Amino acid sequence: MPREITDLVHLRYLALSTIGSLYKFQFFKLKNLVTLIVTSWMEKCPLQLPCDILDLPQLRHLHVDKRCSQYLPCLVKKDLQTLYWLKVASSDENPNFGMVPNIRELGIFIEGQLAPSYLGSLVYLHQLEKLKFEVGRVEGFYLPTGFRPNLKKLTLRYTYLPWKEMDTISKLPRLEVLKLKDFAFCGPTWEPSKQGFRKLKALLISYSNLEHWNASSNHFPVLERLVLRYCWELKQIPTNFAKIGTLNLIVLECCYSSLVTSAMHISSAKSKTLKGKTDCPLRVRKVGTKVELPNNESFEEESVESSKKKLQAVHKYIHFSSPIQIGVHHSLLVD
């Protein structure tokens, strides 16, 4: 890494893709730095970063790999707006999110078993609009006891929550995008509460053992995009979704043909009701559809692992092409 970079004292934006240790890299010289992005271009070679990066006086946006997640600063950082990723471990004291009071986008990487109240100080983040949780080595995860009502985007990954916990998320009055990745929720049946998701526009479910989705158009009245990836147990999308006037896109990736047939029926039913109306037509996009279940269980396991590796490669490419998103992201197929 060229050490001359730290001589650029007026630098405001810096994006690095490297490997190895950056402990001796003198970030503190870059006093005018506003945006810092540091990633490793080799997954097996995680970066080693100094722990005082958040002390940069003008820093507003920080994006680092999960394996070199940062801890909350010791002093209040009122200017910080974006932080990916923040490490939270059960061996540490309860995090005080009041140290970053104006954060708008936050990714939290969790290690260890956390008590339900451990993340309680999230309620002090009055500006928070986009929140991500990813769980590393942990036996169980609990949703925070309270969310700020202004939250618009929520992503959960490897959290293994029961579907009944979704009732807590449905109470978020402004939630527009919900992404459930890699067994964020587990269990065969999801029956949303009567309240439903009043403002939700985009829903992604990726790698799930969901079998029965007992929902209606009333639960998702303004849904526009639905993406289902690797939902091999799910055979049918709720037929009542044909009544969602705003629904214009269903994406099915590596699902079974019965799910595709279900989506086509919904599209056809919606088309019949659109005559003379201004609602958008519904498009169905399918990728890697399977016709029948594989007979060999080992083959199925290998297919899952192979598919995960392909997705990781795609995500890595996207990450390098656009390593940080500060505004509102309009596509569920990225990130």
DSSP sequence for 122-151 = GGG-TT--EEEEEE-S-S-----S---TT-
Q: What are phi and psi of 2, to 5 degrees?
A: -60, 120
Over the stretch 259-290, which tens digit does the pLDDT of each residue have?
Answer: 999 999 999 998 887 665 656 788 998 887 66
Q: What is the pLDDT of residue 118?
A: 84
- CA end-to-end span of the chain: 27
Alpha helices in 171-209 (DSSP H): none
Look up the pTM and report it: 0.82
For 126, phi then psi, to 5°, come to -70, -20
Residue ranges of alpha helices (H) inside 231-296 are 257-273
Q: CA-to-CA distance for 323 and 17, rounded, in angstroms?
A: 10
Structure tokens at 248: 């214009």
User: What is the per-residue pLDDT for 82?
Assistant: 95
Distance from the Cα of residue 302 to its chain's centroid = 25
Whether residue 71 contacts residue 108, with contact meaning beta carbons closer than 8 Å, is answered with: no
**Residue 282 burial (CB count, 10 A):** 23
**Low-confidence stretches of the chain (pLDDT beneath 50):** 292-334
CA distance 261 to 198: 27
How high is the pLDDT of residue 189? 96
The region that residue 151 occupies, defined by phi over 0 for left and psi between -120 and 50 for alpha, beta otherwise, is: beta
Closest-CA residue to 136 (of 161, 120, 157): 157
| CA–CA gap between residue 317 and residue 324 (Å, rounded) | 13
The rounded distance, in Å, linking the Cα atoms of 140 and 257 is 33
62 Cβ contact list (under 8 Å, min separation 6): 35, 36, 37, 53, 54, 70, 80, 82, 83, 84
Give the pLDDT confidence score for residue 276 in this predicted structure. 53
**Are 149 and 126 a contacting pair, CB within 8 Å?**
no
Q: Is 24 exposed, middle or buried (0-12, 13-18, 19+ CB in 10 A)?
A: exposed
Per DSSP, the three-state class of 225 is strand
pLDDT value of position 215: 94
- Give the per-residue pLDDT at 159: 92
